[in-house]
Amino acid sequence: MKKAAVVVLLALFALVAVLAVNTWRNGSRQIAVAAVAPLRMDEAAAAQRLAGAVRIATVSSLTDPKASAAEFEKMHRHLETSFPLVHKHLKRERVGAEGNGDYALLYTWPGRDPAAKPVLLMAHMDVVAVDAASQSQWQQAGFSGVIKDGFVWGRGAWDNKSNLMSQLEAIETLLAAGFVPRQTVMLFSGADEEVDGLRGASAAAALLKQRGVRPDFVLDEGLVVAQGVIPGVAAPAALIGITQKGYMTAELSVSLPTLRCRRAKA
C-alpha cells in the first residue's frame, strides 16, 4: 500500500510540474486591444431617461397579453422621444400577434458590409409586478423611478430596462458621431420575458428564421458589473453568463405513518 501511495504522489507531483512549466512557457493569450476614447455623453440626462422608463408599469401577464397594453404603448412613445436618431435611422418593427400582444420591438441598424453576418443584442422591457405584501419593505416605490444616492430606483432599473436603454443610448451617441457599423446590428426587446417569452422572443426567432437571418452571435441580457459582492475582489468585476436558466415544475408528496405519543406521568 505504501509503495502504491508513493507512486500516486509522484505521478501527481509530475503532473503539477508539467502544468506549471507549460503555464510559464505559454504565457497569457489575452488579446491586446488598444483603448478607445470614450464618447462624451450626458450621464444625468441618461439617468433621467432610464428613470422615465422605470416609471412606466410594463408588467407582463402570462394569461392576458393585453393586461398592460397602455403601458407598453407609453413605453414605445418614451423610446421614440428619448432616442430620435435611433428612430430616424433604424428600422423598427413590432413583433407578435397584432392586437394580441405585439409589443415586442425589433430594431435593425444596417451595416456597411452586406456580406457580414449581423449581430443580435437582446433585452426586455417587461417587469414583474410589485407584491403588495412587500411594499412596506421597499425603500422607494416600485415604479417611482427615483434618482437617489447615485442610483435609479424601481422595477426595471436593473432587470432589464437598464439594458435596453443602455443599448439605445450607445447607438444614439454613435449615430450623432456619424458612426456606421461594419455589420448589421439588430436589437430585440421582449414584452413577455418574465412570463415565458412565447409571444415575443419565440415570434422574433420564427421571423428571423423565415427571413433567413443567422446572426454571427446573440447577446442576451447578461449579468452585471458588480463591486464588493465577491469575497477578496475589490475592483469592479463583470459577471459573465454563458447559458440561460430553465424551469421545472415539481410536485412533492410525503406520506408518513400515524405517530402516537404516550403521555408521561409526572
Which of 125, 124, 109, 121 shows the shortest CA–CA distance to 218? 121
Cβ 109 vs Cβ 184: under 8 Å: yes
Q: How many Cβ atoms sit within 10 Å of the Cβ of residue 38?
A: 7
131 contacts 59 by C-beta, under 8 angstroms: no
Residue 137 CB-half CA count within 13 A:
5
Instruction: State whether the Cα torsion 80-42-159-53 is positive or negative.
Output: negative
Query: Do the strands 91-95 and 104-109 form a parallel or antiparallel pair, or are they unpaired?
Result: antiparallel
Q: Are the C-beta atoms of 174 and 98 separated by less than 8 Å?
A: no
Between CA 217 and CA 199 the distance in angstroms is: 22
Query: Per-residue b/e over 151-165, b at no fewer than 16 CB within 10 Å?
Result: ebbbbbbebbbbbbb
126 is catalytic: yes
Which residue is catalytic, options 192, 193, 194, 220? Answer: 193
Q: Is 193 a catalytic residue?
A: yes
Q: For residue 119, what are the β-bridge partners? A: 185, 217
Nearest to 188 by CA among 79, 113, 93, 102: 93
Question: What is the set of active-site residues?
Answer: 126, 193
